[in-house]
Structure formats: structure tokens, C-alpha cells
A = this chain, B = another copy of it.
Amino acid sequence: MTDSLGDWRRTHYSKRISPELSGEKVTVMGWIHEIRDLGGIIFVLLRDRDGLIQITAPSKKITKELLEEIRKLRRESVIAVKGTVQDSSKAPGGFEIIPAEVKLLNESKLPLPLDTTEKVHAEIDTRLDSRYVDLRRASVSAIFKIKSRMLHSVRSFFEEGEFIEINTPKLGASATEGGTELFPITYFEREAFLSQSPQLYKQMMMASGLDKVYEIAQIFRAEEHDTLRHLNEAISIDAEASFCNHEDMMNVLEGLVRTAIKNVREQCEDELKILGVDLEVPEAPFERVDYDDVVDIVNSKGVNMKYGEDLSRAAEKAIGEKMDDYYFITGWPTDIKPFYVMPDSENPGKSCAFDLMYKDLEISSGAQRLHIHDILVERIKKQGLNPASFERYLAAFEYGMPPHAGWGLGAERFTMCITGAKNVRETVLFPRDRRRLTP
């Protein structure tokens, strides 16, 4: 039998209790991380979101009934404890709690699907199958606390920059960028597709006069990739602004990256420590390396790359070795970038597109966009696509489309950069990939 919560409420998270509170009555709640029964004294390590609290139950100080009640408790059961704080140099945080009353709120089945104390290694698949238990490990929840902080910092950065948040549709009648990597859906009696990017919608918003917009939302890509860097469902941080060029938007991106890292560094000290990450705010400006130089560097490292090719995985690794952590690749050939990218007016074979890299990982792509209707139609045709498929998008360019530029930043890849995670799945609560659709 379990107890109901009744009118008990937590008074303190673990991190809010310190030896200075000695003598105070508190109510704490959480999971039994460990329990040690030494007969005349029982130690319960209670775990909450922020850490551990030692509950010390000595037979001399508590009733026999309470001692027996505590003795019956098992690992990972959920309890609430009312008691008195007492300083204790041996306990975590320098304090312990002498219990006065305990409630058993729910029991845990044993054994657990995986160990919560991080003493036993678990494979990623086992962990993802029981993500709710996996997240009880401090090194796992730390990643998601950092991701949450990063996302909030990013939004605050946009708000301070007077960007307006938009929500673009994830269901559409047609392919976004004409690609084949789309998930088809049945929309009542019609076929529809899941959005692979808010690209065309955020551009249409530039014609609306909203001027500067951002969106942080799911994107869906039916790519067959099965790597440590790809997901079929991810969160994209998208920005688009009018009356500016790609250089301006590179500066915005650089500012956003630095601000988010600064905030995580300041506000997630405990989590970074748990992960063993010594996070530095990268210096501005990030280095800019031209695509032509990238080709030279990659070849000089013994990796074959022809001018006009996209970066292979080997090429990414080669350039990553040479550069600082964060750097831009600019001057991409127009032909390997999407149709909406503005060619360089002085040298139309090159474009106003950029990628932001972190070591060997591409984390963002952006560009100044073509804003002149007729030139855009020409580019669509030149890329072998049919302008008729882009009718609604193209119409927005006919009624006063301002010059504009923007980018998309992968939230999970950026989380990898900050947390040091090597597998993108570590940065998603419930990853969706080629093989995984559950839980």
C-alpha cells in the first residue's frame, strides 16, 4: 500500500538545503537512490532533480515504528520525508535529515531495466527503451537541463533582437524544397507531407513585413542515414530577417551561439561539472574560411575533394582538424546550394551561402536569399525543378519581397557541441531514427 500525497508539499529541492539550515524542519521528496541498513541506523540517499540528500535514521532518535517503516523501503521507490536538517560533514552537501515522518508515494519494481547509480554501463538502446529510468542518471539529465537552458537563451536572444516568433505549418500539400526526403501522410482523403524545413514559409514571412522572425520547431527528414549525427525528427532553430545580407545574419548567428554558451556556462555549472565539460565562450569573430581554401586544405590532408563537391564525411574531418572549434565556411559554389540562395553578384558561380561548423560537424546553414522573382524562377528551373510546384511561394515574390537572409541551426547538434555528446541520440529524449519509433 502506498500513501497519498495529501497536503504534503516539498519545501526544498536538495540544492537549496545547506548546513546553515541546521535545526530547520523541511519536507523533501524524491527517489531512493541507495539504502544502507546498519541495524541500529539506516541511511537513505534520496535523489531529486538536483542531487542527493542523506536521510539518517538512527534508532536512538526516531520511533521504532518509523525505523521499521524505513527499513521496508526499496531502491527507486518514491518517498516524501518530513524531518529536521542537521549538519554532517560526511553527508553529501554537508547535511543530513533526521526524519520525523515518511510517506511511501509509490513503489518501484526491482530489478530496474538499468542501473541508476551509473556504476553499471548500459547500451544506448537499453537506455532509450527505458528513457524515464535513464534520465535518473545525473550525466543524462544534465544534457537535457543544458538543452532547455540553451533553448531559452536562444529565445531570449531573439526577443532582445526584436525578432518575432512565428509558427509555420508542419503539414503541407507539397514538397518544401522539391526534395524526395519527405514523409508522406494521409490528410483525410488527400496526400500531404511533413515539413522538412520552415524555409519557404519563413521567406514568405519576409514579404509580410514581419521583418525579423524566428521559429524553434520540429523538422522531419525521411533520410536513410544511420549515423551518430542524423535524426529523422529534430528541432530546428530558424531565423530570417529582411533588409540585410548574409554577413549580417552570420553576425546574428555568431552572437546567438556565444550568448547561449555564455548563459549555459553561467547557469549550468553543476551540469557541466557532471559532464566534465570545461565550456569556453568562443571568441568573436569566428574564423571565415572560403570554400576554395577548404578544398585546398582537405586535399592537403590527403583527402580527395574536387571543386564543386559538397563536403564528404572524410573532408569534414580533415577541415575540422585544421580549424578552431567554431568557424564559417563561405563562398560555396552556387550549384551545390539550394535554388533560393543568392549568387555572388561579382562572381555568380559562387554564392552568398555559409555553413557554421563546430570542428567536423555542420551545425548551421544559411544564406542571403534570392528576392527577385524572375531570377528565382530561373534558378528553380536550372536545378531541374518545376516552378509550378512552388506557385504559392513564388507569388510572395511578386508583391514586394525585400532583400533578406537567414539560417537554420540544428538544436541537437548545437547541444552536442555544448555538452560534448558524441551521439546525437544523447541529446534527444525520444530519438526517431531509421530503426527507432518507440517509445
Asked if A402 is an interface residue, CB under 8 A from chain B, the answer is yes
Instruction: Indicate if the CB atoms of A438 and B172 lie closer than 8 Å.
Output: yes
Shortest beta-carbon distance, A272 to chain B, in Å? 16
Interface core residue of A152, A155, A439 (most chain B CB under 10 Å): A439
- Assuming A144-B166, A403-B4, is B243 touching A29 (CB within 8 A)? yes
Instruction: Indicate if the CB atoms of B159 and A152 lie closer than 8 Å.
Output: yes
Residue ID in chain B nearest A158 by CB atoms: B152
Shortest beta-carbon distance, A77 to chain B, in Å? 6
Per-position binary interface string of chain A over residues 132-176, scored 1 when its CB falls under 8 Å from any chain B CB and 0 otherwise: 111110000100110110011001000100001111111111100
Stretch at the interface among A82-90, A207-215, A319-327: A207-215
Asked if A369 is an interface residue, CB under 8 A from chain B, the answer is no
- Assuming A186-B184, A243-B5, A438-B172, is B400 touching A78 (CB within 8 A)? yes
Contact of A432 among B169, B205, B220 (CB under 8 A): B169
Instruction: Give residues of chain A (217-245) contacting chain B, Cβ–Cβ below 8 Å.
Output: 217-218, 220, 222, 224, 232-233, 235, 242-245
Shortest beta-carbon distance, A160 to chain B, in Å? 11
Across-interface contacts of A152 in B (CB, < 8 A): 155, 159, 165
Beyond A77-B400, A169-B432, A188-B222, 5 additional pairs, beta carbon < 8 A: A29-B402, A108-B400, A155-B155, A169-B233, A204-B439
Asked if A301 is an interface residue, CB under 8 A from chain B, the answer is no
C-alpha spacing A31/B399, complex, angstroms: 10
Asked if A413 is an interface residue, CB under 8 A from chain B, the answer is no
Residue ID in chain B nearest A29 by CB atoms: B243
Instruction: Indicate if the CB atoms of B429 and A168 lie closer than 8 Å.
Output: yes
C-alpha spacing A45/B221, complex, angstroms: 44
Question: 21 A-B pairs, CB-CB below 8 angstroms?
Answer: A76-B399, A106-B372, A106-B401, A108-B399, A112-B399, A130-B399, A135-B208, A136-B209, A141-B210, A144-B164, A148-B165, A152-B159, A152-B165, A166-B429, A170-B233, A172-B437, A173-B438, A174-B438, A185-B194, A188-B434, A218-B218
Copies of the protein in its oligomer:
2
- Of the four ranges (under 10, 10 to 19, 20 to 34, 35 or more), the interface on chain A belongs to 35 or more
C-alpha spacing A374/B397, complex, angstroms: 59
Across-interface contacts of A381 in B (CB, < 8 A): none
Instruction: Indicate if the CB atoms of B399 and A109 lie closer than 8 Å.
Output: yes
Across-interface contacts of A286 in B (CB, < 8 A): none
Shortest beta-carbon distance, A432 to chain B, in Å? 5
Asked if A19 is an interface residue, CB under 8 A from chain B, the answer is no
Across-interface contacts of A439 in B (CB, < 8 A): 204, 392-393, 395
Per-position binary interface string of chain A over residues 346-365, scored 1 when its CB falls under 8 Å from any chain B CB and 0 otherwise: 00000000000000000000
Instruction: Indicate if the CB atoms of A132 and B188 lie closer than 8 Å.
Output: no
Instruction: Indicate if the CB atoms of A105 and B402 lie closer than 8 Å.
Output: yes
Instruction: Give residues of chain A (222-272) contacting chain B, Cβ–Cβ below 8 Å.
Output: 222, 224, 232-233, 235, 242-245, 248
